Homo-oligomer: A and B are copies of this chain.
Amino acid sequence: MKVTWLGQAGLYLQLGGLKIIIDPYLSDSVGAIDPAKARRVPIKESLFEIEPDVLAFTHDHLDHYDPESAQRFLGQDKGFLVLAPNGCWQKARALGGKHNYVLFDTDTEWTHGDVKFTALPAVHSDPYAIGLLIEGEGKAVYITGDTLYSKKLLKNLPDAVDVIFLPINGAGNNMNMTDAARLVTASKAKIAVPIHVGMMDEIDPNEFPCQNKRVLTVYKETEIE
C-alpha cells in the first residue's frame, strides 16, 4: 500500500489497484474563519490532478469535508465512487457530476473491485461522524476519523488491524496522545500513523508515545508493507 499524507486528516491511499482519497483539506477554509488556525502547510496544487477511484469523507467539519477541495475533485469529468455519511453526503451530492454518491453511515459496507469499505462508529461532535475500515491486498486499514476513545470503536474491528490512522491532537473532541496510544494497543494495530497535527497547531507527531508508530511527512508518498 502506498500512502501520502495530505496534511491534517487528509490521506491518499493506493491500495488494491484503487486510488483512494480521504478527507482532503487543500484550502484554508478553517483559517478564513479562525486566524489562529490558519494553514501552516502550503497547498500542493498538483494533487488536484489525481483522478481518484474513491473519494471518502468521514464527517461534516471544514477540515474533513472541505467545500473547496470537494468542489475541485468532484468537478472532474470522470465519475467515481463517493462515500460519505449523513450531512456531508447531502453537501457533496449537491455538487452533481457523474459520481456515485453512496450514503455511508455506521455499519454500511461497500465493495469496490477487490477492496471492501466499512463505515465504523466514531464518537465526535458531529453525530454522523464515521471511521473507515478499508480491506484490500490482504490488509486491514483502519482510519478512525475524528473521535474520542470509546469501547464502541473496537466492537466491529477485525482481529488484526495492519495500519491504524488516528488523531492525537487532544482537542476538538479528538483523542489526546495517551488515549490514542491506548486505542492502538486495544486495536492490536501493527503500525500506527498519527495524523491531525501540524496543520493548525504545532503538535509534533514524533512525541506520540507509541512503540509502533510511523510518522509520515506531508505530501511524501510512503510504502507501508
- Output the nearest chain B residue to A124 by Cβ-Cβ distance: B103
For A152, list chain B residues within 8 Å (CB): 107
Query: 1/0 per residue A8-32: CB within 8 Å of B?
Result: 0000000000000000000000000
Tell me, yes or no, whether A111 is within 8 Å of chain B by CB: yes
Whether B108 pairs with A123 at a CB distance below 8 angstroms is: yes
- Output the nearest chain B residue to A177 by Cβ-Cβ distance: B111
Whether B111 pairs with A182 at a CB distance below 8 angstroms is: yes
Whether A100 pairs with B151 at a CB distance below 8 angstroms is: no
Could you say which of A48-56, A168-176, A188-196 contacts chain B?
A168-176
Tell me, yes or no, whether A63 is within 8 Å of chain B by CB: no
Known contacts A103-B124, A103-B125; is A108 also within 8 Å of B150 by CB?
A: yes
- Output the nearest chain B residue to A183 by Cβ-Cβ distance: B109
Q: Which 6 A-B pairs have the closest CB atoms?
A: A111-B178, A109-B149, A107-B150, A108-B148, A108-B150, A111-B179
Range of interface residues on chain A? 20 to 34
For A112, list chain B residues within 8 Å (CB): 176
Q: Complex: how many Å from CA A103 to CA B129? A: 13
Q: Complex: how many Å from CA A176 to CA B116? A: 12
Choose among B89, B148, B178 the residue that contacts A102 (Cβ–Cβ < 8 A): B148
Q: Complex: how many Å from CA A150 to CA B108? A: 4
Tell me, yes or no, whether A105 is within 8 Å of chain B by CB: yes
For A179, list chain B residues within 8 Å (CB): 109-111
Tell me, yes or no, whether A217 is within 8 Å of chain B by CB: no
- Closest chain B CB from A214 CB (angstroms): 23
